[in-house]
Amino acid sequence: MMAIRHMLVNRDITLFGPFNEIGNKKDFFGVIHYYLMAPALWLAHYNPVGPAVFTAALGVISVGLLYWLLRCNYSTRITLAVTALYAVSPLVVYQVSWPWNPNTTPFFALLFFICLEMLKQHKRVAWSVLAGFLLGLLFQLHYFTIALGLAWLLTMFTSLNHQSHRRKIRHWITFISAFILPNLTFVIFDFTHEHFYWNIFKATLSGGTEQQYLTPTIYSVLVNPLFYTKTVLQGLFEFPTFITGLLTLSFLLGCSITSSN
């Protein structure tokens, strides 16, 4: 909040976003979060409660977006049940109650999936442009969201499989260009600050730091998703480890069966 206040009061345009520090590990993010929260902080006369209210408001709107998205593919009963669970989930409520950069990602992620739904229905290039731009914003908020690009690829290979090659190329070019646009701040910052972000990315990719998220090992590909899902479920329900483990296996098995069908 102090960094955003400094931007507004001193009219100091910055390209460097927030970072998270836990022990000796630092996660650096894009600057979009600062500019997203700036209007709320200014309207609240620099009271940090303003961005917190804004983040919570995006969380409330996300409930409506989730309902609309689910209703496109499921019955009213299933849609209401899932939306109600999401709306009262302690994990969701906790995350949207304070203005940290990853906590606005559900709002933009749901908009991203709505764009994919519209792309599936109407096959227009404009929806690929919006989807690419939203994924670019999400990547600025937290780099893990790059995994959502797989959903666009699946949409391209399934719903748009019968499009002409020229039209497919247009979708690819516009999607990638729109993704790059919000992330030009990374590029400009890197060229003016000795390739700061690029060096971090190389170290992470090669496993040269404590952050070895992208190191392609059998353990990271097969085991990490299992432990991540277990952690989320345990945080939601606070069940014993044994019960949470069974729930995790059942959840992943159900996802696999649903995907195959």
Q: What is the domain partition of the chain in residue ranges?
A: 2-214, 216-261
| pLDDT of the residue at 170 | 92
- The DSSP code for 261 is -
Cα angle for residues 114, 151, 122 (degrees, 5° grid): 45
Backbone angles phi, psi at 70, to 5 degrees: -70, -35
Residue partners of 184: CB distance under 8 A and separation at least 6: none
Which of 90, 124, 125, 96 has its CA nearest to residue 110?
96
Q: pLDDT truncated to tens, each residue of the chain (261 aa)?
A: 999 999 999 988 888 888 877 667 777 888 999 999 999 999 999 999 999 999 999 999 999 999 999 999 889 999 999 999 999 988 888 889 889 888 999 999 999 999 999 999 998 999 999 999 999 999 999 888 988 999 999 998 888 878 888 888 999 999 999 999 999 988 888 888 888 888 877 776 665 545 554 455 666 666 666 676 667 666 666 667 677 667 767 766 776 666 555
Q: Give me the pLDDT at residue 89, please.
A: 87
**Mutual orientation of helices 49-71 and 105-122 as an angle, nearest 10°?**
30
φ, ψ (nearest 5 deg) of residue 45: 55, 45
Tell me the CA distances in angstroms from 65 to 20, 75, 86, 125, one per residue in order.
29, 16, 11, 22
| pLDDT at position 236 | 65
> Which residue, 134, 159, 141, is CA-closest to 55?
141
Q: Which of 251, 198, 196 is nearest to 229 (CA)?
A: 251
Residue 178: CB partners within 8 Å, gap ≥ 6? 128, 129, 130, 131, 132, 133, 136
Amino acid 198: pLDDT? 82
Can you list the positions of beta strands (E) in the chain? 19-22, 25-28
Q: How far apart are CA 26 and CA 245, in angstroms?
A: 30
